[in-house]
Chain A
């Protein structure tokens, strides 16, 4: 029976196949005429006419059109000519009929595609000898467009409504084009950009739901046709809902997956006190619960982290996110609480305030306000202040020196900034010279006054640091060339040189009480020393064999402990300043170890008052200093 149905359907396609092949041949003939200049405004090259135009016309024009015609013929011609009841009135299984119609349409289209492609290939290779290297892409595109046309036609036949099917197909095509464009052009649309090429799959499945809808419509229910359109609409509607659901449901999972796959690329911004943390990716921010390791909330993209408030209850981001997930041209400051919920209305800025330059790299909280610098790299930079609950940001200090960046907020609430001054240049050169000076600035949030505190050579900025009290400025650490440190008293301007026994200063860190922890290398031994800012006796806390790329020193948030990290396979150690004891932290299982394991430093850091964080293979690992054997993973 199937053969009879297929044979009958194929016979009905004969004229269409002949017309398709004839159309392709006519196009080929027409283009061949342009080569000799017989037709058209002038001779056209064979490469252009046969090598490029002909496959384009076939793949993007003739084939999709014939797919549409072939499937229309198969599924609507009998109905249109009033002969459908011949089959309906007989014991013909609807599924076989559906399959035969699909088979006939596919065969007819294939015949047209193969014949026209064969003719084009013959002309290109045998007659004109032009390249066909670019054809596979066009052939694939033509096949894809033909499949879309076939799917849309099937849905139209089932719904009995061409316009609705065309609208649905257009919706799918639009979504697919959007998803592809987002990936190809690296444009910024939250959903598709976030889940990557995967976004094309649900859309493709959406298109494939069209023939499924047609199959359900034509093979189920009353043969007379009642309910056919409703069945097709139901299947399509369910499919669209599933697609939307899948897109919404998988997006967070895929983002987590991406994060889990590359945890080291994420900066963990722990709240002071460690109650919460922000995973800071390129344009994705997640609020996570360090205790359970679970994700709390996803912060809309086009946001970059500015900083936690000192009490750890709120953080600020600079954002361009719109409500629909797109990117606005205007930047705002948004505030979130430790759970990732909105904590205050956004603070917007007028277009001419910061739009031209954008918010800088980071913000610093001083009391209840966050400060940030706009136009860091411009001559017209400004220090801004924003207070949660207000609707407008305010300029704290205008006309900052060029290349000014926030540095630190000291214990007395003063805001320090550093300006990378540059020498005068003619013309538009703006990059600072290495020999230029860096200037330390202090802003008093209470009085709004900006004070200039002195300069150091720009090249030393990375080797400088401000004491927590704001009274001392370490301006020179020897640059690993000498075991000495120079500390400047900012009140008097006096500089004091600390000299240590050894060859170089490996690391140093200000402690809460303005003492300095200094790691000095001496004949292959790394010695950890404590020194007062004003000089005096030095206290040795411990010593170990010196290794290249020694880890850094980091004081805990409350200043009670000092982290000394070691190489990947050696773990870390924590010094308790109050009772002068050490806690050894062994390397946890699941530590992310690079190929150069022995020499690679591990990015240990504080994640709370008594918690350390270290990158793990499956995500950041959290370790309690009081119970180092307890290792928790932040699960994405």
Chain B
């Protein structure tokens, strides 16, 4: 087994407050995650869940309060320049100088990237139909995202950190950008960490999903495993359904008339059958088990208040 290209180990990072004065907001709380080469990992979660913080910690722009971060075997806090030479971060609102032209910003980006590949950058400019003479300030949001992508892939990163770069873009542009990302990562055999709210996009490209909530991982696993393990049970009762007592892996339960809809993660083989029996024991006359899409799984997880140490690895 190869060493992970990105590894977070018990990483905590907070913002605000200086020297114990002022309120501190914990963005990541003992966050641990390992990402292998060639993986595309989706980071999902609400706003403020810690996704951007995790990416910036990996890029070395932020430093952890505690815990360790290793990227390509390096500590980004101590070797930030070396890490950023091999890692590209592409963010939602890519900070492009509005007074530059596309050509100028590509040349400027090239001067700042020791591993810059002009041929590759040129290919992307062509593929994304970018006009080198166009001023950045005149470009649409989608075109700016394409420019940022060209800048990112031109630097030939081994790891691509994407902080929702396609948010707000129309489906056509999103598809173009995503295809570009996939092509780039396929070429280099590197890893991609993709933080986004766009679950459908993630479903298309991600190998693994990490669901973050309040700085902690609530749910983690490959897409296949999540889809396989997380199920929805619909139990029909003769009258108003009772509350389901605690059950391991329970993500969500809600009553819909006489039907109790339960979302559960099957942590052990036979757990679904056991839950079905319990529901019948509570008076359910009919129990059905359904497969779920990723979005439904995440929405269920989102509804369920996490316990302090509650993490699911699927």
A108 to chain B, nearest CB (A): 16
Contact A83 B112 (CB under 8 A): no
CB within 8 Å of B: which of A1-21? Answer: 1, 3-5, 8, 11-12
Contact B81 A84 (CB under 8 A): no
Contact B81 A89 (CB under 8 A): no
From B18, B77, B111, name the one whose CB has the most chain A CB atoms within 10 angstroms. Answer: B111
Contact B56 A224 (CB under 8 A): yes
Contact B91 A92 (CB under 8 A): no
- Using A89-B89, A91-B84, A93-B81 as known contacts, say yes or no to A83 and B109 having CB atoms under 8 A apart: no
Q: Which B residues lie within 8 Å of A5 (CB)?
A: 112
In whole angstroms, how far apart are the Cα atoms of A568 and B90 in the complex? 87
In whole angstroms, how far apart are the Cα atoms of A84 and B81 in the complex? 16
**Closest B residue, CB atoms, query A221:** B63
Q: Which A residues lie within 8 Å of B63 (CB)?
A: 222, 224, 226
Interface stretch, picked from B94-102, B226-234, B304-312, is: B94-102
Is B114 in the interface zone, CB < 8 Å from A? yes
Contact A86 B114 (CB under 8 A): no
Is B59 in the interface zone, CB < 8 Å from A? yes
Q: Contact string, A72-87, partner B, CB cutoff 8 A, digits 1/0?
A: 0000000001111111
Contact A226 B95 (CB under 8 A): no
Q: Contact string, B141-162, partner A, CB cutoff 8 A, digits 1/0?
A: 0000000000000010000000
In whole angstroms, how far apart are the Cα atoms of A226 and B94 in the complex? 21
Q: Which A residues lie within 8 Å of B296 (CB)?
A: none
Q: Which A residues lie within 8 Å of B59 (CB)?
A: 89
In whole angstroms, how far apart are the Cα atoms of A12 and B91 in the complex? 23
Q: Which B residues lie within 8 Å of A226 (CB)?
A: 15, 62-63
Is B108 in the interface zone, CB < 8 Å from A? yes
A394 to chain B, nearest CB (A): 60
**Closest B residue, CB atoms, query A86:** B95
Is A90 in the interface zone, CB < 8 Å from B? yes
A243 to chain B, nearest CB (A): 25
Contact B113 A91 (CB under 8 A): yes
Contact A92 B112 (CB under 8 A): yes
Is A445 in the interface zone, CB < 8 Å from B? no
Contact A223 B99 (CB under 8 A): no
In whole angstroms, how far apart are the Cα atoms of A321 and B88 in the complex? 68
Q: Which A residues lie within 8 Å of B67 (CB)?
A: none
Q: Which A residues lie within 8 Å of B50 (CB)?
A: none
Which of B60, B88, B94 is in CB contact (< 8 Å) with A223? B60
B142 to chain A, nearest CB (A): 19
Q: Which A residues lie within 8 Å of B112 (CB)?
A: 1, 4-5, 87, 90-92
Contact B95 A1 (CB under 8 A): no
A230 to chain B, nearest CB (A): 7
Q: Which A residues lie within 8 Å of B80 (CB)?
A: 91, 223
Q: Which B residues lie within 8 Å of A99 (CB)?
A: none
Is B85 in the interface zone, CB < 8 Å from A? yes
Q: Which B residues lie within 8 Å of A90 (CB)?
A: 84, 109, 112-113, 155
Contact A1 B81 (CB under 8 A): no
Is B240 in the interface zone, CB < 8 Å from A? no
Which of B60, B62, B97, B114 is in CB contact (< 8 Å) with A83? B97
B200 to chain A, nearest CB (A): 27
Q: Contact string, B110-132, partner A, CB cutoff 8 A, digits 1/0?
A: 01111000000000000000000
Is B61 in the interface zone, CB < 8 Å from A? yes
In whole angstroms, how far apart are the Cα atoms of A5 and B108 in the complex? 8
CB within 8 Å of A: which of B67-105? Answer: 77, 80-82, 84-85, 88-89, 91, 93-99
Contact A224 B61 (CB under 8 A): yes
CB within 8 Å of A: which of B266-284? Answer: none
CB within 8 Å of A: which of B8-64? Answer: 15, 18, 56, 59-63
How many residues on chain B are close to A (CB under 8 Å)? 32
B138 to chain A, nearest CB (A): 16
Is A114 in the interface zone, CB < 8 Å from B? no
Contact B111 A1 (CB under 8 A): yes
CB within 8 Å of B: which of A210-229? Answer: 222-224, 226
Q: Which B residues lie within 8 Å of A222 (CB)?
A: 61-63, 77
Contact A88 B61 (CB under 8 A): yes
In whole angstroms, how far apart are the Cα atoms of A286 and B99 in the complex? 68
Contact A85 B95 (CB under 8 A): yes
A223 to chain B, nearest CB (A): 5
Q: Which B residues lie within 8 Å of A88 (CB)?
A: 61
Q: Which B residues lie within 8 Å of A82 (CB)?
A: 93, 95
In whole angstroms, how far apart are the Cα atoms of A165 and B114 in the complex? 37
CB within 8 Å of B: which of A267-308? Answer: none
In whole angstroms, how far apart are the Cα atoms of A205 and B265 in the complex? 66
**Closest B residue, CB atoms, query A14:** B99
Contact A89 B108 (CB under 8 A): no
In whole angstroms, how far apart are the Cα atoms of A92 and B85 in the complex? 9
Q: Which A residues lie within 8 Å of B81 (CB)?
A: 91-93
In whole angstroms, how far apart are the Cα atoms of A84 and B50 in the complex? 21
Contact B62 A89 (CB under 8 A): no
**Closest B residue, CB atoms, query A84:** B95
Q: Which B residues lie within 8 Å of A83 (CB)?
A: 95-98
- Using A83-B97, A223-B60, A224-B61 as known contacts, say yes or no to A91 and B85 having CB atoms under 8 A apart: yes
In whole angstroms, how far apart are the Cα atoms of A86 and B107 in the complex? 13
Contact B96 A89 (CB under 8 A): no
Q: Which B residues lie within 8 Å of A84 (CB)?
A: 95
Q: Which B residues lie within 8 Å of A1 (CB)?
A: 111-112
Contact A89 B93 (CB under 8 A): no
In whole angstroms, how far apart are the Cα atoms of A223 and B59 in the complex? 10
B13 to chain A, nearest CB (A): 10
In whole angstroms, how far apart are the Cα atoms of A81 and B81 in the complex? 24
Which of A11, A89, A93, A224 is in CB contact (< 8 Å) with B99? A11
**Closest A residue, CB atoms, query B63:** A222
Some 27 contacts from A to B, beta carbons below 8 A apart, are: A1-B112, A3-B111, A4-B108, A4-B112, A11-B99, A82-B93, A83-B97, A85-B61, A85-B95, A86-B96, A86-B97, A87-B112, A88-B61, A89-B89, A89-B91, A89-B95, A90-B109, A91-B80, A91-B82, A91-B114, A222-B61, A223-B60, A223-B80, A224-B62, A226-B62, A226-B63, A230-B18
Closest 5 CB pairs of A and B: A4-B111, A91-B84, A83-B95, A86-B95, A91-B85
A interface, CB within 8 angstroms of B: 1, 3-5, 8, 11-12, 81-93, 222-224, 226, 230
B interface, CB within 8 angstroms of A: 15, 18, 56, 59-63, 77, 80-82, 84-85, 88-89, 91, 93-99, 107-109, 111-114, 155
14 extra A-B contacts, CB within 8 A, seeds A5-B112, A83-B96, A89-B91: A1-B111, A4-B107, A4-B111, A12-B99, A86-B95, A87-B112, A89-B59, A89-B89, A90-B112, A90-B155, A91-B80, A91-B84, A91-B112, A226-B15
